[in-house]
Amino acid sequence: MRYIGVDLGGTGIKAGVVDERGEILSKGSARTGQERPYQAVIADIAALCERVARDANTPLGDIKAVGVGVPGIFDPKTGRIPFCANLGWHDVPFVSEMQKRLPLPVFVGNDATVAGYAESIAGVSAGTASSVFITLGTGVGGGIVVGGKPYSGAHGVGSEIGHMILSMGGEPCNCGNRGCFERYASATAVIREARKAVAAHPESMMLARCGGDPARMNAKIAFDCAKEGDAAALEVFNGYVSALAHGIVSIINLFDPEVIVLGGGVSMAGAFLLDAVREAVKPLVLFKDMGCARIELARLGADAGLIGAALLGKE
């Protein structure tokens, strides 16, 4: 059986035909054009779905369902997207608008949730029944899989891992609270701390690597310099790893999944980050003689969203 998966982002739309094991059979993309009315965006999504089906030589009648990952929340009871900041959408009747244009069942999930689901079917957590996927990007997103199924909670507002409170009263967050996990574990947090570090230590190689302009700082520069032994960068890196480890321990103590998967831009630091995080988590877990979640790097990269969205149709 075949499925269409759509990864709907603020800038671009990706879609593809995917088989039941999560293999991509065809793939295409389009500009989101999120400044347009939602009807126009949804018409382009539907057209892209038809195009990738043709590219995979698959008549729509042989497609079981279309799954769409969105950077927001979805209400499965109404089929509407109540809120999606990156698209500027409020209360969009997504499923009915899609079905006006495509004669297929439509499923919708949060983008991080479907990416985590994809990893649990075809990626690093394949074959596990429970996993938590953490996207370390501009913010921190999360995808929870329980009993082999994507889990969005009772009201569709769960798996917002970036907004666990890690440091009550701490750094102010865009959400209005203080001390959210993403204030410490996102690329944004690395950049903030690296800028502080070069202000205090202008001799740090981080400053030279961003051409003397802290406005050009990014997480890769900070972690690359840490890898090369720059003291100020190492301090930024160690602080980041500690915060990430504390958040992971909260997830382990609460949810105890089989695997925790690190994805998103910051995770591109690879083994340097992974090894440090594993070491930092070890002394923090509650029951040191019991097993606890493996920590792994995501494997599917930029295709995870598309694959996971497609596989929503398997349920």
List interacting residues with its own copies (CB under 8 A).
Answer: 73, 75, 82-83, 128-130, 142, 144, 146-147, 151-161, 163-170, 175-177, 179, 184, 242-243, 246-247, 249-258, 283-287, 289-293
> In the complex with its own copies, which residue's Cβ is closer, 3 or 74?
74
Long-range contacts of 48-55 (CB under 8 A, 24+ apart): 48/6, 48/13, 48/15, 49/4, 49/6, 49/15, 49/102, 49/104, 50/102, 51/15, 52/4, 52/15, 52/16, 52/17, 52/26, 52/27, 52/28, 53/4, 53/17, 53/26, 55/17, 55/26, 55/27, 55/28
Q: Helices 111-122 and 304-311, interaxial angle, to 10°?
A: 80
Look up residue 237 and give its two tokens: 């890196």
Least distance between its own copies and beta carbon 138 (Å): 17
Least distance between its own copies and beta carbon 281 (Å): 11
Least distance between its own copies and beta carbon 68 (Å): 19
Whole-number Å distance between alpha carbons of 107 and 307: 13
- How far, in Å, are 174, 176, 188, 241, 242 from residue 171 at the CA level? 10, 10, 12, 17, 16
Least distance between its own copies and beta carbon 166 (Å): 5
> In the complex with its own copies, which residue's Cβ is closer, 104 or 281?
281
Count of residues for the chain?
A: 315
> In the complex with its own copies, which residue's Cβ is closer, 175 or 231?
175
Residues 3, 157, 116, 224, CA torsion sign:
positive
Asked if 147 and 130 count as a contact pair (C-beta separation under 8 A), the reply is yes
Which of 116, 124, 137, 159 shows the shortest CA–CA distance to 255?
Answer: 159
Least distance between its own copies and beta carbon 43 (Å): 27
> In the complex with its own copies, which residue's Cβ is closer, 9 or 148?
148
Whole-number Å distance between alpha carbons of 164 and 282: 21
> In the complex with its own copies, which residue's Cβ is closer, 29 or 177?
177
Least distance between its own copies and beta carbon 129 (Å): 7
Q: What is the DSSP string of 66-116?
A: EEEEESSEEETTTTEEEEEGGGTEEEE-HHHHHHHH-SS-EEEEEHHHHHH
> In the complex with its own copies, which residue's Cβ is closer, 49 or 248?
248
Least distance between its own copies and beta carbon 256 (Å): 2
> In the complex with its own copies, which residue's Cβ is closer, 58 or 128?
128
> In the complex with its own copies, which residue's Cβ is closer, 48 or 95?
95
Least distance between its own copies and beta carbon 98 (Å): 21
